[in-house]
Structure 1
Amino acid sequence: MPVHVYGVTDTSVTIPTDRTGRSKRPLRHIDGGDLRVLVSDVDDDSRVLREDLMAHAHTLEAVATLGTVLPMQFGVEMPDDDTVRHELIESRGDEIRPLLERFEGLLQLTVAVDLIEQEALKEVLRRDPDLVALRDHVQRAAPQDRHSAEVRLGEAIAGALEALRAEVGDGVVDRVAPTARAVSLGEVRGALQAAEVFLLVERDRQSELDATVTTLRDDLAPLASLRYVGPQPPYAFLDAASSGELSWA
């Protein structure tokens, strides 16, 4: 029967038995030597649902709380257990073991910050009297002049929001980076995202980062909201650490 592959860990990591994976199938593992591959069975004609994507991610996060796991991209399937054993353990074991050693004792935590639009607009207006004057000018402008004035105001506000977004983002990185062994920055998306920061953190320092994030969330309110995700496998750091030959997530 085909199997869906979640990731690779070592045999010291106990796979959680209270979770189900893709298509709500039980999780199980395939061992070889000191390596353990986390899998679940799938039907040949199994359709991919959004809940399957979530199950894949949540399974890996659950294992990451227990030990080091190298995550595979969603959709990696192999025809049977013997193929998994041959492709990942026998053929690629020498590649996988150094990666597991490199990330031993480390986990990824993600901090994402988004400006709250109305609060950000209030802030840029508070900081810049010229913007307030331009806004008031638009409100008083004659109908034939209003469009060009609105364009100038929109451009000025967009520039001010971009500067505020960069300022908040830089401040977030400065606050959380000292706790991390390594930092990777995601590309900000949309007009309001200020930062997406991936942090590779020693397990025994997670509580330190937790406390920093709690304080940071309070300090950012009400200007911005903060999402804190993890523990996770080292998604953002695998490409830099590996040869890229395997389909790491």
Structure 2
Amino acid sequence: MTVPVHIYGVTDTSVTIPADRTGRSKRPLRHIEGDGLRVLVSDVDADSRVLREDLMAHAHTLEAVATLGTVLPMQFGVEMPDDDTVRHELIESRGDEIRPLLERFDGLLQLTVSVDLIEQEALREALRRDPDLVALRDEVRRASPQERHSAEVRLGEAIAAALDVLRAGVGDGVVDQLAPTARAVSLGEVRGALQAAEIFLLVERDRQSEVDATVTTLREDLAPLASLRYVGPQPPYAFLDAASSGALAWA
């Protein structure tokens, strides 16, 4: 009886996966090998429900492998009916596409830095920088009940504009500090009113400690105005689209 397999990503044969590593549904992680490639998989029940734990296991597995060597990550949910299909579809049919990508990212990893303003501190800083905001705030406090709504609207619009300027300045400053440590930089779309930047760095493995030190300094310099979330090592998620033909469902 054939067993469906969940696919995590593709490495080369230089990457050895720890024997005790588990993935989705706590199933053992294993690989399907051929022509210098290793496809990382685990068995999965055909009718299994997708849980949040499965999504996290997929991501954590790829991050764990990224600490060991280059891995090209597949999107969550890529499954194939059996090992032979994996071998045919990825190793035999797509090997000539995959091997150059592994070579391109050899010795590189992704590090991700998210920058978020702290709301109350950001508002204080915006007021400190812009006396007009202080005047609008005082106008709201003095306004009659009939005038209060329009005054509050003006103040809200002015605060939003001031926060946009502050976010952009903080985000650009962090990018400027981190960019010299990276081979390439990609910026994600900021989310919400307080996120200043989502920065993806493609970094040489032997320069990760340099990024670590820069992030530590930035955290100290930006406190208490902003917080930094630092994730990695990761596979080169943010750089695959630009490097590949798009024929495969890379993450």
TM-score interval (norm. to shorter): over 0.9
The question of whether the paired residues in 2 share the 8 Å contact of 1:16 and 1:62 is answered with no
| Deviation digits for residues 61-88 of structure 1 (CA, Å, limit 9, x no counterpart) | 0000000000000000000001101110
For residue 197 of structure 1, what is the aligned residue in structure 2?
199
What's 1:97 paired with? 99
User: In the TM superposition, what is the alpha-carbon distance from 1:33 to its structure 2 partner?
Assistant: 2.1
| Cα distance in 2, alignment partners of residues 92 and 142 from structure 1 | 71
User: Which one of the candidate residues 64, 67, 79 is aligned to 1:65?
Assistant: 67
- TM-score between both structures, scaled by the size of structure 1: 0.99
| TM-score normalised per structure 2 | 0.98
Alignment of 1:1-249 (within 5 A): 1-249=3-251
Instruction: Write the deviation string for residues 118-158 of structure 1: whole angstroms up to 9, x where unpaired.
Output: 00000000111111111011111111111111111111111
What is the distance in 2 between the residues matched to 1:59 and 1:75?
A: 14
- In 2, the alpha carbon distance for the partners of 1:160 and 1:143 equals 26
Indicate the RMSD between aligned Cα atoms, in angstroms.
0.6
Helix, strand or coil: the match of 2:219?
A: helix
Query: For 1:164-184, what per-residue CA distance to the aligned partner results, in whole angstroms no more than 9, with x for missing partners?
Result: 000001001001010000000
Q: Which amino acid aligns with 1:62?
A: A
Q: Classify the secondary structure of the residue corresponding to 1:98.
A: helix
Q: Offset at 1:214?
A: 0.4
Matched position secondary structure for 1:8 = strand
Letter of the 2:104 partner, please give it: R
Match of 2:16, SS?
A: coil
Deviation at residue 42 of structure 1 after TM alignment? 0.4
SS of match in other structure, 2:132: helix
Q: Distance in 1 between matches of 2:37 and 2:132?
A: 63
Kindly provide the CA deviation profile for residues 172-226 of structure 1, in whole angstroms up to 9, marking residues without a partner as x: 1001010000000001111100000000000000000000000001111100110
Structure-2 separation of matches of 1:130 and 1:43: 62
Matched residues in 2 for 1:185 and 1:44: separation? 37
Aligned length: 249
CA distance in 1, matches of 2:19, 2:224: 41
The one-letter amino acid of 1:116's match is I
Q: Is the Cα contact below 8 Å between 1:68 and 1:104 reproduced in 2?
A: yes
Unaligned runs of 5+ in 1: none
Moved over 3 A (4+): none
